[in-house]
């Protein structure tokens, strides 16, 4: 049993057999690798019994805390009935019940198509958008519009609409072409937030005017561009962007994989500006970080386009082996119950206000260029020269070094280049939030010499 092994023994097994994602394995084994054995609340405990605050919600997944009794019970109760049966050509109880709950809370969406990860949820959305226009007699609308510096996952379609050179350039020959607009980054724009929004909207409108007749949909991370560096949209941008898509008859696909389920202070980020997308991709927090379940939601209009006689071959020919898995759907239902009993969206709003105040001393540090926050999504961009907004050289790995120092001080998080992320579980209490920001402040000071 792994629990009988020491951390060093497990690291050696890791060295021999496991290839970690988004990890340079040579450097990994030179940096005292961490092996997690269990979790309690907002803490992770390694194989040698050391405890750490979970400062990035185990890659933005965990909402309700680790080892939550209500979620554990939901899984064990379902396990006593059935673990999985196919959703192809038949239904199952928790998948149907969860679909009803999701459509009740998602803005303007009425149908749910399940999958197993955020990337596949986006991929399904792209295929639905492409196929929809063929079903309604407009096959020329086959292209896609997305935003530079975006991230939507690592399957081929999701990478195609992504825009992070480091992740995607190598695979260019495998990807299909897309039109790209500029996501508004106020910190890197020479002007006010309003001017930044207007410049990006003008560019978007020009692209839609030129290519709208051939575009199936526009893909966007609403309110916060996550892996691109926690870039926050200026107020009003999302609503105006949605209006432009409607005006040019281009479907809007909202990638809420990272921003959904309370993370931004609303159940879904689109709600901040009253936007009802045509398609929405969700994952990560859907099961509270317990099991891999994702979903793609659509409007009734889109769903209806795929109805027809068997002879017409009009169905949506897509599926996954574990689509609608009962264990995952059961824990997702229990998680939605916790949103109500814990008043979780309201709690995020209160916690976000606390964190905003705690971050002020961080923002004043001489090597912190920008602090970006929306709800409990926080990015702290480190710079070599604050006045000039000059970034550190890539080889300095400043973000990674700060995160390693934070680990030494008792908190786990990961950087996005030189942007350090703070995304705690949504249930994190004020004392632990204060500790997390204190550790972040100390780690930045310790590494940058502030």
In-domain check, residue 373: yes
User: How many domains does one find in the chain?
Assistant: 2
Eight-class DSSP state of 385:
B
Q: Is 199 exposed, middle or buried (0-12, 13-18, 19+ CB in 10 A)?
A: middle
Q: Examine the domain organization and report whether 326 and 435 are in the same domain.
A: no
Residue 363, number of CB atoms within 10 A of its CB: 13
Question: Is 87 strand, coil or helix?
Answer: coil
pLDDT at 3: 55
pLDDT at 288: 96
- What's the rounded mean pLDDT across residues 229-234? 97
Task: Calculate Rg over the CA atoms of the chain.
Answer: 22
What does the pLDDT look like over 357-415, one tens digit per residue?
Answer: 999 999 999 999 999 999 999 999 999 999 999 999 999 999 999 999 999 999 999 99
CB contact burial 62-99 (16+ within 10 A = b; e otherwise):
bbbbbebeebeebbeebeeeeeeeebeeeebebbeebb
Spatial distance between the Cα atoms of 408 and 55, rounded to a whole number of angstroms:
13
Task: Please give the mean pLDDT across all residues of the chain.
Answer: 97
Q: Examine the domain organization and report whether 118 and 194 are in the same domain.
A: yes
The domain of 138 spans 72-341
Residue ending a domain, among 285, 318, 341, is 341
CATH assignment at residue 383:
3.90.1150.10
In-domain check, residue 8: no
In-domain check, residue 55: yes
Spatial distance between the Cα atoms of 400 and 418, rounded to a whole number of angstroms:
7
What does the pLDDT look like over 249-298, one tens digit per residue?
Answer: 999 999 999 999 999 999 999 999 999 999 999 999 999 999 999 999 99
Residue ending a domain, among 303, 323, 341, is 341
Bridge partners, residue 112, by sequence: 297
Residue 419 · residue 383 · CB < 8 Å? no
Q: Examine the domain organization and report whether 413 and 316 are in the same domain.
A: no
Is the pLDDT assigned to residue 177 strictly greater than 90?
yes
Residue ending a domain, among 341, 357, 389, is 341
What does the pLDDT look like over 203-214, one tens digit per residue?
Answer: 999 999 999 999
Q: Examine the domain organization and report whether 273 and 208 are in the same domain.
A: yes
CATH assignment at residue 133:
3.40.640.10
Question: Is 373 strand, coil or helix?
Answer: strand
Q: Examine the domain organization and report whether 269 and 395 are in the same domain.
A: no
- What's the rounded mean pLDDT across residues 95-123? 98
Residue 65 · residue 432 · CB < 8 Å? no
What does the pLDDT look like over 42-67, one tens digit per residue?
Answer: 999 999 999 999 999 999 999 999 99
What does the pLDDT look like over 318-342, one tens digit per residue?
Answer: 999 999 999 999 999 999 999 999 9
Q: Examine the domain organization and report whether 228 and 375 are in the same domain.
A: no
Q: Examine the domain organization and report whether 185 and 57 are in the same domain.
A: no
Q: Is 124 exposed, middle or buried (0-12, 13-18, 19+ CB in 10 A)?
A: buried
In-domain check, residue 25: no
Q: Which pTM value belongs to this model?
A: 0.96
In-domain check, residue 1: no
Spatial distance between the Cα atoms of 33 and 7, rounded to a whole number of angstroms:
9
Is the pLDDT assigned to residue 155 strictly greater than 80?
yes
Task: List own/partner pairs for 405-409 with CB under 8 A and 24 or more apart.
Answer: 405/442, 405/443, 405/446, 405/447, 406/55, 406/439, 406/440, 406/442, 406/443, 407/34, 407/52, 408/443, 409/439, 409/442, 409/443
Please report which confidence band the pLDDT of residue 1 belongs to, taking 50, 70 and 90 as the band edges. Answer: very low
- What's the rounded mean pLDDT across residues 150-157? 97
Residue 334 · residue 74 · CB < 8 Å? yes
54 Cβ neighbours under 8 A, 6+ residues apart: 39, 42, 43, 44, 62, 66, 411, 412, 424, 425
Q: Examine the domain organization and report whether 335 and 424 are in the same domain.
A: no
Q: Are strands 415-416 and 143-147 parallel, antiparallel or unpaired?
A: unpaired
In-domain check, residue 440: yes
Please report which confidence band the pLDDT of residue 242 belongs to, taking 50, 70 and 90 as the band edges. Answer: very high
In-domain check, residue 27: no
Percent of the chain exceeding pLDDT 90 equals 97
pLDDT at 2: 44
| H/E element, 440 | helix 430-448
């Amino acid at each position: 049993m792994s629990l009988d092994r020491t951390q060093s023994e497990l690291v050696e097994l890791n060295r021999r057999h496991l290839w970690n994602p988004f990890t340079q394995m040579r450097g990994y084994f030179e940096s005292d690798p961490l092996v997690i054995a269990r979790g309690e609340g907002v803490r992770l405990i390694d194989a040698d019994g050391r405890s750490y605050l979970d400062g990035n919600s185990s890659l933005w997944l965990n909402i309700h805390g680790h080892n939550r009794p209500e979620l554990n019970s939901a899984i064990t109760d379902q396990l006593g009935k059935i673990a999985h049966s196919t959703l192809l050509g038949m239904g199952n109880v928790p998948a149907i019940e969860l679909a009803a709950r999701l459509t009740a809370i998602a803005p303007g969406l009425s149908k749910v198509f399940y999958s197993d990860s955020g990337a596949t949820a986006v991929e399904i959305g792209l295929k639905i958008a492409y196929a929809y226009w063929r079903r309604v007699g407009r096959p020329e609308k086959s292209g896609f519009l997305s935003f530079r510096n975006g991230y939507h996952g690592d399957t081929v379609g999701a990478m195609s609409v992504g825009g992070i050179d480091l992740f995607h350039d190598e695979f260019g020959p495998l990807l299909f072409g897309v039109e790209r607009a500029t996501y508004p980054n106020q910190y890197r724009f020479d002007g006010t937030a309003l001017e930044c929004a207007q410049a990006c909207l003008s560019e978007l409108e020009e692209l839609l005017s030129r290519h709208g007749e051939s575009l199936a949909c526009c893909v966007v991370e609403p309110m916060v561009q996550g892996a691109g560096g926690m870039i926050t949209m200026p107020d009003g941008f999302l609503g105006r962007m949605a209006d432009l898509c409607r005006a040019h008859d281009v479907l809007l696909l909202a990638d809420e994989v990272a921003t959904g389920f309370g993370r931004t202070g609303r159940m879904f980020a689109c709600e901040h500006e009253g936007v009802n997308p045509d398609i929405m991709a969700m994952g990560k927090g859907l099961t509270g970080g317990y099991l891999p379940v994702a979903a793609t939601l659509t409007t009734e209009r889109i769903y209806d386009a795929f109805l027809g006689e068997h002879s017409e071959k009009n169905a949506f020919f897509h599926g996954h082996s574990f689509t609608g898995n009962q264990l995952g759907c059961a824990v997702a239902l229990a998680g939605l119950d916790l949103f109500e009993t814990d008043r979780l969206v309201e709690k995020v709003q209160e916690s976000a206000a606390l964190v905003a105040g705690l971050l002020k001393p961080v923002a004043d540090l001489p090597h912190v260029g920008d602090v970006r926050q929306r709800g409990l999504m926080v990015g702290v961009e480190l710079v070599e020269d604050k006045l000039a907004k000059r970034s550190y050289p890539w080889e300095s790995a400043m973000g990674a070094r700060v995160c390693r120092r934070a680990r030494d001080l008792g908190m786990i998080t990961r950087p996005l280049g030189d942007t350090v992320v703070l995304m705690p579980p949504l249930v994190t209490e004020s004392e632990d939030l204060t500790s997390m920001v204190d550790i972040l402040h100390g780690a930045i000071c310790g590494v940058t010499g502030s």
